[in-house]
Chain A
Amino acid sequence: MTALVEVRNLVKTYGEGEAETRVLKGLDLDLETGELAALLGPSGSGKSTLLTILGTLMRPTSGSHRMLGEDLTTASDRDLTEFRNRHIGFVFQFHHLLPDFTALENVIFPAAVEAGRETREARERGRELLVRVGLEHRMDYLATKLSGGQKQRVAIARALMNQPELVLADEPTGNLDRESAMQVMDLIGEINGREKTTFLISTHDEKIAEICRRQICVVDGRAEMGRERA
């Protein structure tokens, strides 16, 4: 079985000349379908950088990045935008919902922007997802009227909207209290178990990392595979 994501010898440097910083120094990484992996590493080690590259929001300096068999290092911007929309979901530390839109409108954004309108099916699925994340009573609330934990659950629902193969979460619980953080992780675990969606979650939190079946550590610009739990 081929990997969902296949990264080889990935290099990313920021800046030029004197100010050049080499963040990723030949990183190799495979992610299989259905994995629930934590991304660990000290601050500044390059976790966000890696997630951004895996999410096709940034191009690596060199190395290869394939997903679903497609070579994403050579694809055009337009193709990457479309690929991202279809196959990748994002959850960020700071929720980043569209503030002037309701919870439901936020959730269906990825589908609506693809279809050019909000279809009835999209609304149906959006409602289901919001029920699943426990926000059936907040569907028509404006994003700004939700609590931090609620916003993060809306963001997870949105990440799942287009049924992506891969969801990238950059410190999704970094801004939440312990209880909300655990709720969010339970939700991620449940979706991962049921839908075989692959999750890669960066975190500083050992407890969060322990929930994940696999742990990947970015050390000195390379990925060190942690233990794999049964």
Chain B
Amino acid sequence: MEYVIEMLDIRKEFGNFVANDNITLQLKKGEIHALLGENGAGKSTLMNVLFGLYQPEGGEIRVRGEKVAISNPNIANNLGIGMVHQHFMLVENLTVTENIILGNEPKKMGIINIQDAAKKVAEISKLYGLNVDPYAKIADISVGMQQRVEILKTLYRGAEILIFDEPTASLTPQEIDELFIIMKKLIEENKSIILITHKLQEIMDVTDRVTVIRKGQGIGTVITSETNPEELATLMVGRQVIFKTEKGPAFPADEVLHIENLVVEDYRGVSKVKGLNLSVRKGEIVGIAGIDGNGQSELIEAITGLRKVKEGKISINGKDITGKRPREITEIGLGHIPQDRHKHGLVLEFSVGYNAALQSYYHEPYSKKGIMNYKVVSEKAKKIIDTYDVRTQGEHEPARALSGGNQQKLIIGREVERDPDLLIAALPTRGLDVGAIEFIHKRLIEQRDNGKAVLLISFELDEVMNVSDRIAVIYDGQIVDTVNPSETTEQELGLLMAGHQKSEMIVVGDEVVLKEGEDPNVE
């Protein structure tokens, strides 16, 4: 059996904490190999060891059968190992080519030769069907494109083995499909791939084998075609996971959130929300379904007071909050799990404890007469860590050291614990493992059952369909239709999200399709 990479009994410690406890992973040439594990299981850590960013305390790495010491990323590059990080490492105002050659610029007599580099970039891009313009500025291209630039970067440096750390978490469904086509192409060209993802269906669809780790320990490797999502989930969490969250019927009562003819502009002054109406009542979860970029971000920012309202009115519990400052809105009863956890959700340099107090530090008992009571803050943090299963070494650890999923659990814990009348959850389960998703969904439903209003924004159709009591479809800055999750299908939703109306659709057998003469590609 030919292995291109063998990581044998790898051990990585952070202080007294063992992040990788003798894990073994063997990658065959030409396979897509999934690395699966809960949030904080140690996946990113293991990959950072392979890429030379961390030095292991024990174990052995073999590349093409030869024992190697990868003490820095340059060595990894030379060994043909490339990594596409979850958070891209690109310079916004440089072009694609400039970003790709950054660090090892091709020089002719001391002068950088951009043309040659751009030509090479274009060639690689064509070979793998990446479709990247070598002269485009990073700031001007979509997230999906930026990811392709990262892939190009590794290929340009001659990578044979590519590591993808949660590449699909920030992509739209269509971009995900395209990414998988690219991966297949890479395999055809004899590359080998390690893929980290929390989405079990993706693993089933594209990978050959799966290595599962749990709490830093290797559980084993299984062949994808011989397993199923339920088994994978059980292996990874150590217990059975319920995928479809159970919930009783909703008993919606008084209106909590009321939005009327809302118009909001983005930072360039372009209207993104165009006369939107929405209402969320006590005791119900309203899901907003839509393709990214149809005004969701601007809508949330307007409700939370982070963005100016151009026209229209927003009220919570009958109180007009249009134009109010974020803190006033918080005090009226809003909780918010923000879309971008690093930018808005956390102060990464602060400890877990400090972050747990971010929305309540100014209240007693967290502070009194201007003096902080950090003991109380710590206790609160400990409670959130326990209840929400935040895997951390303690409340004094900086939030930056937490794994992505655990950072998210910390934010969710902080917001839900405040028990707000209206909870806005924007992509609350992005980057979370299946067990954590189940847990978060239960919490959202619990809030609802306690008579609170929940507004859920998600790009994942199954999440919206699973959790919501009502689905409001957003398209081009307006709520174009509201449907009942039990009476709709993914297809119908997909068409609504693409801007079609119900009157254009027709049911054929058990499928919803467009009536004749309607072009399905109209956006």
Decide whether A and B assemble into one complex.
no
User: Which residue numbers of A lie inside 8 Å of B, CB to CB?
Assistant: none
User: Which residue numbers of B lie inside 8 Å of A, CB to CB?
Assistant: none
